[in-house]
Structure 1
């Protein structure tokens, strides 16, 4: 009844409601034999209905700002869920942009930016002076390269750096999202997502998980 009467019975509600039902179905010393049997039957029925879908529902609940604290999870399930969200948000945005991330400025060492002394033109008319070696003009040691460095080195190093940057961005965004205050239960999580301009990666992922209803009862009542 909780989900069927809600105006937005989205999938993120399943895990919190299921956890609450399981809590209520726990046997008590005051229960009669009939009540115990009924509670056990209800619990077994819940487990059959949602077998193998826990990770899906945990992620949906975590992306809903009303349930982001995940108080119904035990042990490391909450941390594992948000770690999975960070990885999934990274992958989703890589597909959307067509590349891991925008390439930032590439830092180069003095060996790359300055040609070696032996390659420079030396003017004989200019008096020769003895230059004192400094950190900037010391001769550079050439990096050892393999046969794959020349054709592929620059491309794969740049992609690796960009990918790490996007992963770090997703992790930081998840951390800031978890620091946000939990919304009241009557709030609209989808509307809240639209207003969060400082969380650019998570909305696309949240839409995929929160757009599906948790029950068909609400739509069937229309007919």
Structure 2
């Protein structure tokens, strides 16, 4: 038949992609498989044209999941920040493909996949590590979220983290050295209450100072996050780590958070 010699692929229970690759190879080599079964003495029933149509329609639904699995299993690139935006793109693809297909089996498969994804990934938009990783990836920011309500809540969470970093970086307010008292204290000067060595306003002054510090930290953090969010997103082919190296002085606190959250891998093992 003048075709390259290829073997059929067997699926492996612990590797989802093996199921996709098995169906893909079977569909691609359907003519060779049919010819081989016709010449062999076997009880295996050859697949019908309807069976192959079903396989092809299902492969169209599964194809982006294969791509996502391969991409999220990379070990040398940022991957954790892709989970939320990739889930969004998979959902959009499934809904679009389900609406276009006329194959009942593929439509049912797609509907089940959408339902399972909604159940499994419904909480990803509220998980701190995942949401901050996505926001701090300059390629995605809030546009990577399927649910914009969760995106807004995540941006507030990022501002809170940035505020805390600013507070921690501020030096402590020095305390005034209390004057030593002699064994025979002098009589208090009624015209100068502070001459007693007692600062009646100490607690209130400290609380007011802390309130001013907190307000300044919150305002500065809000400005830093808003400036970052309004910057145009980075091209998806660009390296987000290189972006943060170039912008570490522009967004110093977000740079620290990016070092903390962008290192998170999407998968614990490669495929």
Could you state the TM-score of these two structures normalised by the residue count of structure 1?
0.67
Of Structure 1 and Structure 2, which has the larger fraction of its residues in helix? 2
Q: How many Å apart are 1:78 and its aligned residue?
A: 2.9
**Whole-Å Cα distance in 2 between the matches of residues 174 and 88 of structure 1?**
10
Q: Specify the alignment match of 2:154 in structure 1.
A: 81
Higher relative CO (CA 8 A, sep ≥ 6), structure 1 or 2? 1
Q: Specify the alignment match of 1:202 in structure 2.
A: 254
Contact kept, 8 Å, 1:102 with 1:162, in 2: the verdict is: no
How many residues in Structure 1 have an aligned counterpart in Structure 2?
Answer: 174
Encode CA deviations 1:41-95: one digit per residue, 9 max, x unaligned.
2223323443423223333211100102415434443332212211121124434
Question: For 2:140, which of 58, 67, 76 is the aligned residue?
Answer: 67
Q: Specify the alignment match of 2:226 in structure 1.
A: 175
Q: Specify the alignment match of 1:189 in structure 2.
A: 240
In structure 2, the CA distance between the partners of 1:195 and 1:75, relative to structure 1 (3 Å rule), is closer
Question: For 2:266, which of 202, 207, 214 is the aligned residue?
Answer: 214
Q: Which is greater in Rg?
A: 2
Contact kept, 8 Å, 2:125 with 2:150, in 1: the verdict is: no
Q: Specify the alignment match of 2:52 in structure 1.
A: none
Matched residue SS, 1:70: helix
Tell me if 1:2 matches 2:71.
Answer: yes
List runs of 5+ in structure 1 lacking aligned partners.
Answer: 105-118, 120-147
What is the Cα-based RMSD across aligned positions, in Å? 2.8
Matched residue SS, 2:140: coil
Matched residue SS, 2:143: coil
Superposed structure 1 runs of 4+ greater than 4 Å apart = none
Contact kept, 8 Å, 1:60 with 1:210, in 2: the verdict is: yes
Tell me if 1:38 matches 2:109.
Answer: yes
In structure 2, the CA distance between the partners of 1:209 and 1:5, relative to structure 1 (3 Å rule), is closer
In structure 2, the CA distance between the partners of 1:103 and 1:31, relative to structure 1 (3 Å rule), is farther
Bigger CA drift: 208-217 or 43-52? 43-52
